[in-house]
Amino acid sequence: MKSNLLDFDAHALTGYFTEMGEKPFRARQLMRWIYKEGEHDFSAMTDIAAALRDKLAQCACVAAPNIMREELSGDGTRKWLLDVGTGNAVEAVYIPEETRGTLCVSTQAGCALDCAFCSTGKQGFNRNLSVAEIIGQLWWANQQLGKDADGNWKISNVVLMGMGEPLLNFDNTVSALRLMLDDHAYGLSRRRVTVSTSGIVPAMDRLREECPVALAVSLHAPNDKLRDTLMPVNRKYPLKALLAACGRYLERAPRDFITFEYVLLDGVNDSLQQARELVQLVREVSCKFNLIPFNPFPQTHYRCSGQDAVCRFRDVLMEAGIVTTTRKTRGDDIAAACGQLAGLVQDKTRRTAQHFAEVS
């Protein structure tokens, strides 16, 4: 079987060439062709020796997941369904804005965490994505979108907020992050790459040490009792441990704040008292809040908070000096909004307890 070079970060690719008896600089050459030029055909890599190009054609490939379907929202958001084999597919979403283009990337086929308000979690969990399947979403999206007038890829920001919990696929996620950051690959700033986590505390500490990027934490409740109900992960990593991990992360983070994501659910977590409780909860963590309108999906009993409730909740946080934004819903007409990504997941039997056992 040919080696998929999208599976290798710079360190792994250098080792691959060393085993072939080639000089380490070949890894940097190849990365520039694959990521900066978007090239997958070795014969087109003209500054690589012809003999090496022939050798690579025999033993290696550059293979991103195939696009099964593309949908375009009325607001310009694009969603791609990507085939990751054995009946599974994941979704990636591109969100264009005036000053940036953001790609939302998946890291797992399904999700093991089963958060009560998330369509992705209701799909169950099949497996972790490989490095090639994660970075391949960015590679494919760049091919589809092309470059701007200055010759730059149109994707300026990447958020790992698609299907799955990135920190439960730690090693592959970090290898993909390193490719996003590497100057010989995509060269993105650490401030422009964001990992979203539901609060896997040991992995947050590892990320802090190995590859600190911007961090977003899915909070969604001001106390353990409610968060236990909404997010089963809280029973393993409760709020006290989670907030302590956020404080530690800030010591190495490229930004001087943690973003807390908070989906507002009508009559569940959106009261003024809960907003005040939230202020007290995060008072020792430098943070900002991103309030997210709930995006309904079939078979859910939750409802989106009304606009008045959203404004009142936001005002309590802002009056306490916490920078608070309300996320504009994008791509909801093609089920591409927050919490709506579902993809196609087969063999959904590997649920939370088993997956936690595998990573602890």
Is residue 302 within 8 Å of residue 116, measured between CB atoms? yes
CA dist list (Å): 217 to 37, 161, 337: 34, 10, 17
Q: Taken in order 43, 46, 50, 56, is the CA torsion positive or negative?
A: negative
Is residue 158 within 8 Å of residue 197, measured between CB atoms? no
Which of 39, 70, 91, 246 is catalytic? The answer is: 91
CA distance 82 to 214: 26
Tokens representing residue 8 in the block:
């290798």
SS (H, E, C) 173-225: HHHHHHHHHCCCCCCCCHHHEEEEECCCHHHHHHHHHHCCCEEEEECCCCCHH
Which of 104, 133, 338, 358 is catalytic? The answer is: 338
Is residue 104 within 8 Å of residue 137, measured between CB atoms? no
Task: Please state at what angle helix 239-249 crosses helix 201-210, rounded to 10 degrees.
Answer: 0
Pairing of strands 101-104, 88-96: antiparallel
Q: Is 246 a catalytic site residue?
A: no
Q: Is 251 a catalytic site residue?
A: no
Residue 25, SS3?
helix
Tokens representing residue 259 in the block:
């973003």
Active site residues: 91, 338
